[in-house]
């Protein structure tokens, strides 16, 4: 029986070229196992998150340089926010009084040899000043804390001659508000200015001030009071724990000579008296007809 001869393909068909070994299939490669595919996706996601993290870090470093977060920009934002409640004239005056108060802290910080940033305004919460510390000891901290109310009281008092010169009740209202603002800041609880003074006078007064804030939050519920009370509670616990169990450097921080303690007390109590008298002298009775 003879071998069967293979019939050559017709001439009109293209030649059959044998596929080389390892060539890619037209239907795609064989699918990888699920774990390997997930591993690749997770790795790609990790690279993406790392890039986003670096971008976010760069954005956070850039934020303080943005116009909105500079002193002038944040002042404009605060004026716009307060204008919704009091009108733009009073809002401008109120923000200027805040600026005067905060500049007292800035000036004293720099006198203590501590670099301090310009004030950053936060609508409905006031303003903050950035600094690496508040001084070398509790007396320096008290000086920095009381410098704000001292200059703020002067700023509020400057509205009184403007009121008498113009007869405009706006300046009288600003004076009253400025006196009240600075008196509130003298509450003896950290992080308010009065709490800074108590660091040198009588740290146990922090508990009295905190209790007063809690009572005030219940009697007159207010988001700002509640936020301050929360921060005060955390700061009170941190400071008291540091004083009880801190090292020698911490104990030395709160070791205040009697003469310095008396000087801080005199400034603190003097401010309280002046502010109360100022509020009494500039109090403006409003009726529904005035609204």
pLDDT digits (tens, 9 = 90+) for 239-253: 888 877 777 788 888
pLDDT band of 106, cuts 50, 70, 90: very high
Range of the domain at 176: 63-282
Output the pLDDT for position 15: 52
Q: Is residue 26 part of a domain?
A: no
Number of structural domains in the chain: 1
Identify the CA nearest to 207 among candidates 232, 178, 227.
Answer: 232
Q: Is residue 47 part of a domain?
A: no
Chain center to CA of 289: 39
Output the pLDDT for position 97: 96
Q: Is residue 101 part of a domain?
A: yes
Q: Is residue 288 part of a domain?
A: no
Cα–Cα distance measured from residue 227 to residue 223, given in angstroms and rounded to the nearest whole number? 6
Give whole-number Cα distances, 160 to 60, 166, 282, in Å.
42, 10, 8
Q: 178 versus 5: which is more confidently predicted?
A: 178
Cα–Cα distance measured from residue 177 to residue 172, given in angstroms and rounded to the nearest whole number? 9
**Contact (Cβ atoms closer than 8 angstroms) between residue 152 and residue 94:** no
DSSP letter at 31 equals P
Of the ranges 21-25, 157-161, 195-199, which is most confident? 157-161
pLDDT at 156 over 90: yes
Q: 10 versus 105: which is more confidently predicted?
A: 105
Q: Is residue 41 part of a domain?
A: no
Q: What share of the chain is helix, strand, coil (3-state, %, to 5)?
A: 70, 5, 30
Output the pLDDT for position 130: 79
Tokens 């690749």 belong to residue: 40
Q: 97 versus 68: which is more confidently predicted?
A: 97
Output the pLDDT for position 143: 95
Q: Is residue 149 part of a domain?
A: yes
The enclosing H or E element of 127 equals strand 126-128
Q: Is residue 272 part of a domain?
A: yes
Average pLDDT score over residue span 220-244 = 85
Cα–Cα distance measured from residue 159 to residue 174, given in angstroms and rounded to the nearest whole number? 7
pLDDT at 199 over 50: yes
Average pLDDT score over residue span 57-83 = 67
Output the pLDDT for position 286: 65
Q: Is residue 154 part of a domain?
A: yes
């Amino acid at each position: 029986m003879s071998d069967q001869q293979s019939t050559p393909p017709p001439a009109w068909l293209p030649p059959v070229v044998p596929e080389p070994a390892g060539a890619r299939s037209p239907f795609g490669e064989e699918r990888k196992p699920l774990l390997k595919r997930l591993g690749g996706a997770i790795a790609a996601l990790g690279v993406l998150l790392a890039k986003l993290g670096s971008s976010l870090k760069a954005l956070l470093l850039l934020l303080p340089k943005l116009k909105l977060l500079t002193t002038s920009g944040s002042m404009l934002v605060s004026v716009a926010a307060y204008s919704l409640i009091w009108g733009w004239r009073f809002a401008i005056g109120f923000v200027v009084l805040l600026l005067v108060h905060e500049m007292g802290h800035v000036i004293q910080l720099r006198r203590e040899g501590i670099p301090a940033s310009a004030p950053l305004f936060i609508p409905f919460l006031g303003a903050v000043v950035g600094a690496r510390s508040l001084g070398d000891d509790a007396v320096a901290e008290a000086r920095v804390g009381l410098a704000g109310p001292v200059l703020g009281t002067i700023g509020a008092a400057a509205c009184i001659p403007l009121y008498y010169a113009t007869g405009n009740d706006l300046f009288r209202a600003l004076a009253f508000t400025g006196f009240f603002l600075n008196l509130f800041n003298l509450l003896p609880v950290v992080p308010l200015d009065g709490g800074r003074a108590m660091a040198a006078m009588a740290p146990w007064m922090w508990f009295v001030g905190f209790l007063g804030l809690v009572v005030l939050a219940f009697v007159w519920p207010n988001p700002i009071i509640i936020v301050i009370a929360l921060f005060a509670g955390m700061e009170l616990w941190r400071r008291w724990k540091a004083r009880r169990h801190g090292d020698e450097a911490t104990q030395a921080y709160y070791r205040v000579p009697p003469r310095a303690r008396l000087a801080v007390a005199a400034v603190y109590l003097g401010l309280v008296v002046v502010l109360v008298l100022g509020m009494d002298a500039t109090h403006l009775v409003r009726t529904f007809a005035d609204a």
